[in-house]
Amino acid sequence: MKHAKWIRSIHLLRGGELNPEEEQALSAHLSGCKHCSVVYEKLQLDWIKVMGEIGTEPVLPDSERLSDDILSAVYRNELQSASLKKTPRSEREPFFLMPGFRFGLQVASLIFLAIFFIEQYQITHSVHRLEIQLQTQNTQPRYARLNMIPPTFKKQLLVIVKEQLEKRGLPTNRIEEIVHSLETGSINNETLSTRKRDLTRVEKWIFGQGGISKLKHVDTYWRQP
Amino acid sequence: MSPQEAKTSDANLILNCQSDDQAAFRILVERYQATAFRFAFRLTCNTPDAEDLCQNAFLRVWNYRYRINQELPFTTLLYTIVSRLWIDHQRSKKRRFFTNRVDALDAEIVDPNALPETIAINQDLAQRIKTLSTKLPPRQRLVFTLRDLEDLNIREVMEVTGLSAGSVKSNLSIARQKIRKQLQSITGRTL
């Protein structure tokens, strides 16, 4: 064992905290180690000094006053707790009539109303904004996806659409008009007002089982990120 | 009064306290207030703080009287309460913004009825304790005060502090070494 550990034990030896075996081992070490025995002797002297300085007992200034203070504090405490216990639960006013509860309720309703009005304002505002957006876009959202067909497939699709419309026996000018609007991606209100029925059919056909799914390489295209 | 008699008597007094007997509590207070004050003073180094701790400790004893096990020594319970209150006091002191200012004010408060001799002894002792042990962390200081100044045995220190035997011994050894170093550093000046 190093000196530091023995010195730690020496500190504990002073108060008798070591067990008999440890004490015996330390005594044996002290008889053989000059360094530790010097520390031990010095420590004994130091300790006498420490105890001489702080081992004195403090004097209680006024024991009667202190006990009176303690008992009066206990008495006050008892009185306080008795006043709290005084009113039985059955005699107390119901909780919803208590001022604290009523105040809380008022605050909560005000907050609820404020949230309600804010929500209402936000909904009205967003609806209004959407209306404005639709008006400015000049496009029905329903047919927007027709305008979003990627150019890779547009040519193939237009050929198929043209064939299909010809099979249905539509006049050539109507077919040209629809194909033109699909090609340029400009399905506006004017086109809709005149060719709404045709466009609906074409849209159903394109996005249904007959259209896009039959195009070449369409699967690989949509798989791309 | 032998320790056994004192214990029995304390147990009876606690039993009476549990039946809301304030006279029994008064006897307990008169019997143990000096012990509580002495321990509190050694921790706080301040008479008003020690008296406050003492008062709060007895108030707590009264408030929790129904939970006290009268078989256990009353002194151990008292030491435990005082030490916990002191630790709480230390923590709240740390949180206070103007700690030093409040301490300075506390130090100036002197009981007008106290004898000048008593005041001088306490102030001198407080100064010496502060000089030697104020740099110790609360746990080491508590263990040192209980073991070396209050002369409790290791088992009692364990019960009061809630520490293991190893921890008590280690804290005690470190505290003693630090105090010795502090003593060496100030020898020839203050002491």
A39 is a domain residue: yes
The answer to whether residues A215 and A151 belong to one domain is: yes
A97 is a domain residue: no
Mutation pick from A69, A70, A78, A79 vs chain B, by most beta carbons of B within 10 Å, is A70
List, for residues B21-58, the tens digit of each pLDDT value.
Answer: 888 899 999 999 999 999 998 888 888 888 899 999 99
| CATH 1.10.10.10 residue window(s) in chain B | 115-191
| CATH 1.10.1740.10 residue window(s) in chain B | 1-109
pTM: 0.59
pLDDT, position B112: 61
pLDDT, position B60: 92
Q: How confident is the model at residue B162 (pLDDT cuts 50, 70, 90)?
A: very high
Residues in A closer than 8 angstroms to B126, CB to CB, are 58
Closest CA to B56 of B97, B20, B86: B86
pLDDT, position B189: 46
List, for residues B65-75, the tens digit of each pLDDT value.
Answer: 888 888 888 99
Total domains in chain A come to 3
**How many CB pairs below 8 Å do chains A and B form together?**
111
Residues in A closer than 8 angstroms to B115, CB to CB, are 61
A49 is a domain residue: yes
The nearest CA of chain B is from the CA of A45 a distance in Å of 10
Range of the domain at A9: 3-54
A28 is a domain residue: yes
Residue % of chain A over a pLDDT of 70: 69
Mutation pick from A9, A14, A48, A66 vs chain B, by most beta carbons of B within 10 Å, is A66
The answer to whether residues A155 and A217 belong to one domain is: yes
The answer to whether residues A145 and A219 belong to one domain is: yes
Which value, in Å, is the radius of gyration of the alpha carbons in chain A?
48
Q: Residue B73 — φ and ψ, nearest 5°?
A: -65, 135
Q: Architecture of domain B115-191 in CATH?
A: Orthogonal Bundle (1.10)
Q: Architecture of domain B1-109 in CATH?
A: Orthogonal Bundle (1.10)
The answer to whether residues A172 and A198 belong to one domain is: yes
Contact: B113, A12; criterion CB under 8 Å = no
Contact: A15, B179; criterion CB under 8 Å = no
Q: Quick one: average pLDDT of B125-136?
A: 79
The answer to whether residues A112 and A145 belong to one domain is: no
The nearest CA of chain A is from the CA of B29 a distance in Å of 6
d(CA B154, CA A16) in angstroms, rounded, equals 10
Residues in B closer than 8 angstroms to A73, CB to CB, are 55, 58-59
A27 is a domain residue: yes
Q: Quick one: average pLDDT of A24-39?
A: 84
The answer to whether residues A168 and A200 belong to one domain is: yes
- Where is B125: in which H helix or E strand? helix B116-133
The nearest CA of chain A is from the CA of B180 a distance in Å of 7
Residue % of chain B over a pLDDT of 70: 82
Q: How confident is the model at residue A224 (pLDDT cuts 50, 70, 90)?
A: very low
The answer to whether residues A9 and A27 belong to one domain is: yes
A152 is a domain residue: yes
Least confident range of A43-57, A178-192, B38-52: A178-192
